[in-house]
Amino acid sequence: MPMHNPFWHGTPVPLKNFISRGEKAQTIVSRISTGQSTILSGSPRSGKTSLLHYLMTEENQTTLYEDANKLIFSYLDVSLWNDEYNRVQFWAEALKPIEEYAQADDANPQDETKLKIAKTFQTCQRENFGTFVLEKLFAQLKQSEKQLVLIIDEFDLVLQHPTLKSSIEFFGGMRSVASRSDRALVIIMTTNISSSQLTEKTQDFTRAGSPYFNFMDEVILGPLSTDKIDELLSKDDQYFTPEDRAFIKEIAGGHPYLLQVLASSLWTLYETQPETDFVNRRQQAEKDFYLKVNGTLDRIWRTWQEPSQQAFMSVALVQMEKLKRAFKRQGIDTDSISKHIPRLESELQFLKKYGFLTENKSVAGGWQVYPKIFLPFIIDKKLKLEYRKKLPPEIWKDLLTSNFYN
C-alpha cells in the first residue's frame, strides 16, 4: 500500500511537521514576553510564516509563554490586502481581537476595565483610529494586564502598496503607538528583505530623519543547522540512502523549502519508479526540482540588492569549472574574479547569514554557493543575458546538464 509523502511544502507547515528553529524561536518568545517588537527577516519560503504559526497557535501558548493568559494575538497577512486597503482598515483589523476580548461574556460580564476598553475602541472607530485615542486604548489594555501581540506577515509588501507605501500617518502612527504603549503593544513583522533594506526604502519620507523601525530588533531566519536538516530528512525511514541524503543537502543547502521540495521529488520517484537505479533517480529528481523551484529562486534573487547579486555571481563563476573552461576557450578571463571576492566581505557575510553562501578555504576565493541549485539558475537566468553573444549556443546547452557543477 503506497505511503503518504512525508515532505510538506507549499503552505505553512503543520505543527506536527514543524522543525523548531530552537534559538530563533526562543529569542522571539523572550522578546514577546518582555514587550519588545521584532523584525523577523528571511528569504522567501524560509519558514517565517510557519514559525509565526508555531509562536501564536493556541495549543502552544501555555507551553511557550509564562503569562500566556495576558497575551492577545492578532495576525495580519499583507499579501491579502487589496489596493484600496488603508490605515483605518489596518487598525480595525489589527484591533479586532481587542474588541472581541472587551465584549466577551466571562465570569464577570460587567468588568469595569473591559467596559472602558470597549468604549474607547468605539471612540477609535469614530475618530478613524487616530494616534491619540489609540494610545489611550493601549493604556487601558495595560491597566487590564493584557498585551496585544500584533503579527504582520510579509510586511515588505507594504512598500509596494499604492495607498500605504509612502504614508507617513501609517508608518509614523504605528511606530508612535508601539513606542509609547508601555509594552501593551508588541509588533512582530516578517519581511523578505533585511531591516537595513526596510529602513533604506522608507527613509525618504521620514519626517524627523529617525528610522521608522528603530524600536524593533532584527532576528534573521537563515539556513537550517545540520542537525535540523537531519531531523527533517529523517521523516523518511523507508527509501533514502546515505548518498541520497548527502545529495539533498548538497543541492538544496539549508533552505527548508528547497529541502522539502527536493526530498519530496526524490521520495515520489522511489514510489513511482522503483526499478530506476540510484544515480538516474537522483538526476531525474534534480531536474524535476529545478523546474519546481525556479520561480522561488528568482524571488529570492530579486530581494537582494545589486551589490549582493554581484558578489554571489562572482562566487558562482569561480565555482563552475565547466563555465570557466568555456570562457577560457573564447578568450574570456575569469581567473581574476577569485582575487576580487575577498573585497566583497560585507555582501558575502550578508549572503552567508541568509543561507546562500558558505566559507570554504579550499576553493579559490574562499567561498562557495550553498545551495548548489542556484548554479543552473545563475547560468540560465543571468549569465546567458550577459554572455549570450560571446559563447555559442551549444556551450549553454552543455552547461545546463545535470552535472553542471563538476
Total domains, the chain = 3
Could you identify the residue written with the cell 547560468? 379
How far is it between the farthest Cα atoms of the chain? Answer: 84
Task: Concatenate the DSSP letters of all residues of 173-216 into one string.
Answer: HHHHHHHHSTTSEEEEEEESS-HHHHHHHHGGG-SSSS-TTTTE
3-class DSSP state for residue 238?
coil
In this structure, are 55 and 134 located in the same domain?
Answer: yes
Q: What is the mean pLDDT of residues 66-70?
A: 92
34-43, 119-128, 324-333: least confident range = 324-333
In this structure, are 131 and 37 located in the same domain?
Answer: yes
Domain annotation covers residue 278: yes
Domain annotation covers residue 15: no
pLDDT exceeds 80 at position 87: yes
Pairing of strands 71-77, 357-359: unpaired
pLDDT exceeds 50 at position 41: yes
pLDDT, residue 212, reads 86
pLDDT tens digits for range 305-316: 988 988 898 888
Domain coverage including residue 125: 20-220
pLDDT exceeds 50 at position 403: no
The pLDDT > 70 percentage for the chain reads 84
pLDDT, residue 338, reads 67
In this structure, are 298 and 311 located in the same domain?
Answer: no
Question: How buried is 137 (Cβ within 10 angstroms: 0-12 exposed, 13-18 middle, 19+ buried)?
Answer: buried
In this structure, are 38 and 77 located in the same domain?
Answer: yes
Last residue of one domain, picked from the residues 260, 284, 302: 302
Contact 231, 54 (CB under 8 A): no
19-33, 122-136, 330-344: least confident range = 330-344
pLDDT tens digits for range 119-171: 999 999 999 999 999 999 999 999 999 999 999 999 999 999 999 988 888 99
- Name the residue among 316, 303, 324 with its Cα closest to residue 377: 316
In this structure, are 234 and 295 located in the same domain?
Answer: yes
pTM of the predicted model as reported, rounded to 2 decimal places: 0.88
Q: What is the mean pLDDT of residues 6-17?
A: 74
Domain annotation covers residue 269: yes
Q: What is the mean pLDDT of residues 356-371?
A: 90
φ/ψ bin of 370: left (φ > 0), alpha (ψ from -120 to 50), beta (otherwise): beta
And the C-alpha cell for 16? 506536527
What is the overall mean pLDDT for the chain? 87
Residue 406 pLDDT level (bands cut at 50, 70, 90) = very low
In this structure, are 205 and 247 located in the same domain?
Answer: no
Which of 21-25, 101-105, 232-236 has maximum average pLDDT? 232-236
Domain annotation covers residue 32: yes
pLDDT tens digits for range 89-117: 999 999 999 999 988 765 555 678 888 99
Q: What is the mean pLDDT of residues 40-46?
A: 95
Domain annotation covers residue 7: no
In this structure, are 174 and 240 located in the same domain?
Answer: no
3-class DSSP state for residue 231?
helix
Domain CATH number, residue 41: 3.40.50.300
In this structure, are 145 and 53 located in the same domain?
Answer: yes
Domain annotation covers residue 404: no
In this structure, are 336 and 388 located in the same domain?
Answer: yes
Domain annotation covers residue 355: yes
pLDDT, residue 166, reads 83
Q: What is the mean pLDDT of residues 26-33?
A: 95
In this structure, are 69 and 39 located in the same domain?
Answer: yes
pLDDT exceeds 90 at position 12: no
pLDDT exceeds 80 at position 357: yes
pLDDT, residue 211, reads 82
Report CA 380 to chain centroid distance, whole Å.
24
In this structure, are 96 and 115 located in the same domain?
Answer: yes
Number of residues that make up the chain: 406
- Name the residue among 251, 56, 230, 237 with its Cα closest to residue 153: 56
In this structure, are 69 and 97 located in the same domain?
Answer: yes
And the C-alpha cell for 295? 520561480
Last residue of one domain, picked from the residues 200, 220, 240: 220
Last residue of one domain, picked from the residues 255, 284, 302: 302
